[in-house]
Amino acid sequence: MESADKNIQEGDLQDRVIKEYHSDLGVTAPQVVRLPGFRMQSGYELPEMDVSYLTLGQLSARKDNVVLVCHALSGDAHVAGLHPRTGRPGWWDFHVGPGKAVDTNRFYVICANVLGGCGGSTGPSSINPATGKPYGTEFPPVTIRDMVRAQVALLDYLGIEKIFCAIGGSMGGMQALVWATDYPERIHTCVPIATCMAHSAMQIAFNEIGRQAIMTDPHWHGGFYYDKPTRPEHGLAVARMVGHVTYLSEYSMHKKFGRNLQRPPQPEDLFPEFFSVESYLQHQGESFVKRFDPNSYLYITKALDRFDLLENRPVREVFKPVKARFLVISFESDWLYPPAQSRELVKHLKRSNLQVTYLNLNTPYGHDSFLIKNPEFSRAVSQFLAVVYRNMLNK
C-alpha cells in the first residue's frame, strides 16, 4: 500500500490501493443508459448502445457550465471520487473535485466510458442482441469519432445542447479535438493534453506489440474467449507492461528503481537478479488484467492508430468552422506524445486565426504527467478554465 500523502509519480490511481486515501467527493457511482440504434463510422448499426457515465457538481440554470472529461486508453467513466465497490479513487481524482483544476463547485462534470470500452459502455464484451452472446471480434471497428458521437448521443439524452469545455489527455485529447472540429456550435473551450493530430509510426508500433501479445496468447481464441475458463490474461499483462514503460520517462524510472533488486536471490530463480523495475511491471500487468478486457484493448488501440484529425482534408477546411478557444498542454519529458506533436497542432490553430494558449511543462515524469499530482499543471488548467468561463458569462 502507498501512503495517501506520497506524491505518486506514475499514473493510474485505478491500479493501486492507497492507504487512507481521502476524496473530497466521497463515493461516486457511474450509471448506465441504454440508447437506441447507433450508426458507426464504418456503416455498421448497433441495435442499441449502453453508455456508462458519471456526473459531478451541479448543472447551472442556463446549462452553460458543462465540462466533458474524455478519458484515455485505460480509463473509464469513474473520473473522480471513490468507487462504491472497490473503494479506489477515480483515475483523475487528483484534478477533478471541489477547488481542484476542474472545479466541481463551479462546473458540471460529465465523463463517459468510450464506445468499445469495457467500463459499462457497449464494446466487444457486451451481449450482441442478435446472438445472445458477447460480440467478441464480431464487434465492428471503432473510431475516435465514433466515441465522440456516442458522447453527443449521451448529451442529447441528457438535454444538454452545448458544453463549456471538452478536456482530456492522450486519447482523451483526440476526442476533445474532434469535439472542436466536428461540433463547433456545441463547444466553447477545448483543452487537449499530451496528444496529437495523428499517430506516428513509433506510436503505432508500440500499440502493435501490445496487440500481438494478446492475439498470440493461446487463450485468445480469435477473440471468442468469454465462455472459456481462461482469458488471454498473460498477453494483456505483457501489453500493459509495454505500454506502461512508454508512459514513464527515463528520469522517473531511474529515480524510482535505478538498478535496485526487489529481493535476495531465491533457489527457484532462473536468474539471480530480480530487479525492482521487473517486479513493478509485473504488478502493473497483473493489476490491469483484473479490470480490463483484452478485446477492448485491441479495439481501442486500433482506434488510436487509425485516428487522423485531418482525414486527408486541407488544414484550412478542417479548422475553418472551429470556434472554440484552446489550451494545449504538452510535457517536455513525454517521449510517447512528444511536444513537437502539440506544437504542430498549435501551429495549425494559429494559422487558422484561432485563440490558443500553449504550455509545454517541464515536468520530468513523462506521458503520465497529466495523471499524477502536478501542481503546475493543475494550476494552469484551473486558471484557464476560470478566466475563460468568467469572460463567457460577462459577454
Which pLDDT does position 395 carry in this prediction?
Answer: 81
Which pLDDT does position 15 carry in this prediction?
Answer: 61
Closest CA to 307 of 152, 122, 150, 173: 173
| Cell digits of residue 17 | 490501493
Reported as a single tens digit per residue, the pLDDT across 53-105 is 999 999 999 999 999 999 999 999 999 999 999 899 999 999 999 999 999 99
Q: Is it the case that residue 2 has pLDDT exceeding 60? A: no
Q: What is the dihedral of CA 157, 163, 167, 173, to 10 degrees?
A: 70
Reported as a single tens digit per residue, the pLDDT across 147-182 is 999 999 999 999 999 999 999 999 999 999 999 999
Active site members:
170, 334, 367
Which pLDDT does position 19 carry in this prediction?
Answer: 64
- 90 to 17, 78, 124, 366: CA distances (angstroms): 12, 5, 23, 21
For residue 357, what is the enclosing H or E element? strand 356-361
Nearest-angstrom CA–CA distance, 114 and 127:
16
Q: Is it the case that residue 263 has pLDDT exceeding 90? A: no
Q: What average pLDDT does the segment 201-217 reach?
A: 99
- 121 to 41, 48, 52, 166, 192: CA distances (angstroms): 17, 11, 5, 19, 23
> Would you tell me how many other CB atoms lie within 10 Å of the CB of residue 50?
18
Q: What average pLDDT does the segment 370-385 reach?
A: 97
- 89 to 19, 27, 295, 300: CA distances (angstroms): 11, 9, 25, 23
Q: Name which CATH class applies to 2-199+308-394.
A: alpha beta
Which pLDDT does position 269 carry in this prediction?
Answer: 80
Question: Which band of pLDDT confidence, cut at 50, 70 and 90, is reported for residue 12?
Answer: low
Which pLDDT does position 17 carry in this prediction?
Answer: 55
Q: Residue ranges per domain, the chain? A: 2-199+308-394
Question: Which band of pLDDT confidence, cut at 50, 70 and 90, is reported for residue 16?
Answer: low
Nearest-angstrom CA–CA distance, 170 and 367:
8
Mean residue pLDDT across the chain: 95
Cell numbers 513525454 correspond to: 334
Which pLDDT does position 266 carry in this prediction?
Answer: 82
Question: Which band of pLDDT confidence, cut at 50, 70 and 90, is reported for residue 11?
Answer: low
Question: Which band of pLDDT confidence, cut at 50, 70 and 90, is reported for residue 273?
Answer: confident
Nearest-angstrom CA–CA distance, 308 and 341:
13
Among residues of the chain, what percentage have pLDDT more than 70? 95
